[in-house]
Amino acid sequence: MTIKAKLNELETRKAKALAMGGPEKLSRRRAEGNLNARERIDKLLDAGTYVESGLFATSHLPEAREKTPADGKIAGFGKIEGRPVALVSNDMTVMGASSSVVNGKKIRHMREVATRSGMPLVFLGESTGARMPDRMGAQGRAILGQDPAEYQRMRQSPWVSALLGSCYGSSTWYACMSDFVVMRKGAQMAVASSRVTSMAINQPVDAEELGGWKLHSETTGLVDVVVDSDEKAIETIKRYLSYLPSHNNEAAPVHDVPAGADEAGKRILDIVPADGSKVYDVRKVVEAIADPGSVFELKARFGKSLSTSLIRLNGRTVGVLANNPMFKGGAIDVDACNKATSFLVFCDSFNIPIVFLVDQPGFLIGLEGERRAAPSKIINWMNALSLVTVPKISVIMRKSYGQAYLNMGGGRNSDEVICWPTADLGFMAPEVSVNVLFGVKKEEDPARYEELLQQVTRDTSAWNLAALYETQDVIDPSDTRSCLISMLDVHRKRMGSEVGRHLLSNWPTSY
């Protein structure tokens, strides 16, 4: 064979692989309004930067080779906003992007290279699960589990997953191992499909109920952001990565600060009522403090009494945990605990400083919380907080009661505690403690109640905390942004090039 013939064969094979599952399946997807696996890659990466790995890979079974271009999971490298990434894009038109011996090797290679070379790894998820009949019987067992580190996550570089269709098996597992998950409405994530589940439990199962966006954004909290289209999901991945370093051995990128960034922060007093009985949406405070347009909220519909977001302050990435009195009065429930721990672990793993904005009446106590192991969630959070090695600043805006005072960075649980003059510190509201300590209710014995109330009321002010040097400053709320910028600069880990010790890097990626 001449070299020309060889080159012709190369082109023919390439064209066949790039044709994926064939025109009919591709046009069906287009009609449904979904991008195909290669269009998704094109939208994700900077033009002309894509390099594929394994274009000519196919099923290891000779009889399946012809119908398995790229073996259903397309893998490669490229750049997003100029920074290198590795990716896997699942091709549903090729055997439902099912997991096989060969495409498992492709994913493993992407994982290893992303870790070794310090680049984010992106999974564009849509998959049916294990490939059948390859996985049937004892022989099928023997092709599984050949990589003992397959499900190990040490967070050397960020992992991102998009759920863009039916996600069972591999796409689900990688989403749960990722640092960030974006889901397109209409996609599902579950252990097994509604058809398989329905057969297993012998009753009808609705796919949306089994693994739709509402379940994962509101109940499980496994999804960080929900979007309406593939395109929006891809934009969201790019935006998320813009806050992160490429790997855990460098600081996050610094962005330009938009003009007028200090303006909104001066209006904080219009947002937060001085009267502690009045609620407000803390996300407006986060917006006012952050560089304009830089707030990226995570898990907005889950554990809503605590808002978590990535923001930029003076161009630098910061992770903010803010109690939100708008929901449950800011009382911290089990979902909020899991959300907090997950966020602390994530921020610490990627050298992102942490800010607490505190206004909370305590943990939400009750039967539901106890049934869901609330004490363990509270202590997991504290353990994580004690292992964080990135800078931590706590701003007590209004009330900080109970044990949760510590979880929100009180005492030496942050590098610096700042109070607003409206700060209100104590173990519980004195009115409640009269009942707890003495069993006296106001309506039953008003005179005795008033007497006991005077007896238990203590000075709960910021001034008292400041006198004891438990808060290092009391500031005008409208100076919060400038104060945080100064304090985060003071506490930058200069000795270690702003890289923390990552003591939490092997903590779970899902809670």
Partner 1 sequence: MADTDVVSEVTGSVWKILVAVGDSVEADTPVVLIESMKMEIPVLAPDAGVVTKILVAVGDPVSEGQAVVALGT
Kindly state the smallest distance separating residue 403's Cβ from partner 1, in Å: 15
Kindly state the smallest distance separating residue 401's Cβ from partner 1, in Å: 9
Smaller CB separation from partner 1, 330 or 500: 330
User: According to CB under 8 A, which residues from 101 to 140 bind partner 1?
Assistant: none
Kindly report the CA angle at 321 between 317 and 327, in degrees rounded to 5?
140
Kindly state the smallest distance separating residue 369's Cβ from partner 1, in Å: 10
- Binding track over 279-298 against partner 1, x by CB under 8 A: x-------------------
Task: Confirm or reject binding of residue 370 to partner 1 (CB under 8 A).
Answer: no
Q: Which stretch binds partner 1 (CB under 8 A): 167-175, 364-372, 450-458, 474-482?
A: 364-372
Orientation angle between helical segments 374-387 and 334-349, nearest 10 degrees: 20
Task: Confirm or reject binding of residue 451 to partner 1 (CB under 8 A).
Answer: no
Kindly state the smallest distance separating residue 110's Cβ from partner 1, in Å: 41
Spatial CB neighbours of 233, under 8 Å, sequence gap ≥ 6: 162, 164, 182, 183, 184, 227
Distance of CA 177 to the CA centre of its chain: 11
User: According to CB under 8 A, which residues from 186 to 245 bind partner 1?
Assistant: none
Smaller CB separation from partner 1, 63 or 275: 275
Task: Confirm or reject binding of residue 326 to partner 1 (CB under 8 A).
Answer: yes
Contact 422, 397 (CB under 8 A): yes
Spatial CB neighbours of 448, under 8 Å, sequence gap ≥ 6: 440
Kindly state the smallest distance separating residue 499's Cβ from partner 1, in Å: 40
DSSP tag of 328: G
Kindly state the smallest distance separating residue 511's Cβ from partner 1, in Å: 21
- Cα gap 83→120, rounded to integer Å: 9
Q: Which stretch binds partner 1 (CB under 8 A): 71-79, 408-416, 429-437, 500-508?
A: 429-437
Q: How many residues bind partner 1 (CB under 8 A)?
A: 19
Per DSSP, the residues of 41-60 read HHHHSPTT--EES-TT---S
Smaller CB separation from partner 1, 21 or 362: 362
Spatial CB neighbours of 150, under 8 Å, sequence gap ≥ 6: 104, 108
DSSP tag of 66: G
> In 100-119, which positions are buried (b, 16+ CB within 10 angstroms) versus exposed (e)?
bbbbbbbbeebbebbbeebb
Q: DSSP alpha helices (H): ranges in 243-373?
A: 268-271, 282-289, 334-349, 367-371
Kindly state the smallest distance separating residue 431's Cβ from partner 1, in Å: 7
Task: Confirm or reject binding of residue 329 to partner 1 (CB under 8 A).
Answer: yes
Smaller CB separation from partner 1, 460 or 478: 460
Binding residue for partner 1, selected from 362, 391, 409, 410, defined by CB under 8 A: 362
Distance of CA 364 to the CA centre of its chain: 23
Task: Confirm or reject binding of residue 328 to partner 1 (CB under 8 A).
Answer: yes
Orientation angle between helical segments 480-490 and 282-289, nearest 10 degrees: 60
Binding residue for partner 1, selected from 319, 361, 409, 477, defined by CB under 8 A: 361
Q: Record the tokens describing residue 365, joined without a space.
A: 């106590």
Smaller CB separation from partner 1, 10 or 365: 365
Kindly state the smallest distance separating residue 404's Cβ from partner 1, in Å: 12
- Binding track over 253-282 against partner 1, x by CB under 8 A: -----------------------xxxx---
- Cα gap 384→511, rounded to integer Å: 13
Percent helix, strand and coil across the chain, each rounded to 5?
40, 20, 40
Kindly state the smallest distance separating residue 279's Cβ from partner 1, in Å: 6
Task: Confirm or reject binding of residue 327 to partner 1 (CB under 8 A).
Answer: yes
Task: Confirm or reject binding of residue 366 to partner 1 (CB under 8 A).
Answer: yes
Q: Which stretch binds partner 1 (CB under 8 A): 53-61, 156-164, 358-366, 409-417?
A: 358-366
Spatial CB neighbours of 372, under 8 Å, sequence gap ≥ 6: 334
Q: Which amino acid is at 278?
A: K
Binding residue for partner 1, selected from 221, 325, 426, 477, defined by CB under 8 A: 325
- Cα gap 196→402, rounded to integer Å: 47
Smaller CB separation from partner 1, 366 or 421: 366
Q: Which amino acid is at 156?
A: Q
Task: Confirm or reject binding of residue 302 to partner 1 (CB under 8 A).
Answer: no
Q: Residue 85 phi/psi, 5° resolution?
A: -140, 160
| Residue whose pair of structure tokens reads 């049937």 in the numeric block | 136
Kindly state the smallest distance separating residue 98's Cβ from partner 1, in Å: 38
Q: Which stretch binds partner 1 (CB under 8 A): 112-120, 230-238, 362-370, 387-395?
A: 362-370
Spatial CB neighbours of 23, under 8 Å, sequence gap ≥ 6: none
Kindly state the smallest distance separating residue 329's Cβ from partner 1, in Å: 4
Q: Which stretch binds partner 1 (CB under 8 A): 81-89, 238-246, 259-267, 324-332?
A: 324-332
- Cα gap 382→390, rounded to integer Å: 15
Kindly state the smallest distance separating residue 361's Cβ from partner 1, in Å: 4
By the criterion CB under 8 A, which residues form the site for partner 1?
276-279, 325-331, 361-362, 364, 366, 368, 429, 431-432
